[in-house]
Amino acid sequence: MLIGLFWEVEHSAIYKPSLRLKGVLEGVGERTVKVYEALKDFESEFERLIRLDALSVKKRKRKKKKKKKKKEKGKTPSRG
């Protein structure tokens, strides 16, 4: 996702530069590669953290269910 957004900005800046920027942007290619690498690393880490969080949420829900069942087992039915 981030790379796609970067492409939009990069395309405008590098491939359709204003007259003022035409000579200035030479040699940006190497930096662009570094940006891609950094964005890929960020996205990978972000996805990993999201997966970890999703797993911990599932674990918490299971724990909560177990506690609830245990609590319900311990209750005696009321007589009316």
Identify the pLDDT of residue 4: 87
d(CA 23, CA 52) in angstroms, rounded, equals 46
* Per-residue confidence (pLDDT) for residue 73, from 0 to 100: 76
* Predicted confidence (pLDDT) per residue in 67-80, tens digit: 777 777 776 666 65
Task: Give me the residues of the chain with pLDDT under 50, please.
Answer: none
pLDDT for 15: 75
Outline where DSSP puts E strands in the chain: none
**pLDDT computed for residue 46 by the predictor:** 92
Q: Could you tell me if 40 and 3 are in contact, meaning their C-beta atoms sit under 8 angstroms apart?
A: yes
pLDDT at 45: 93
For the chain, the domains span 26-57
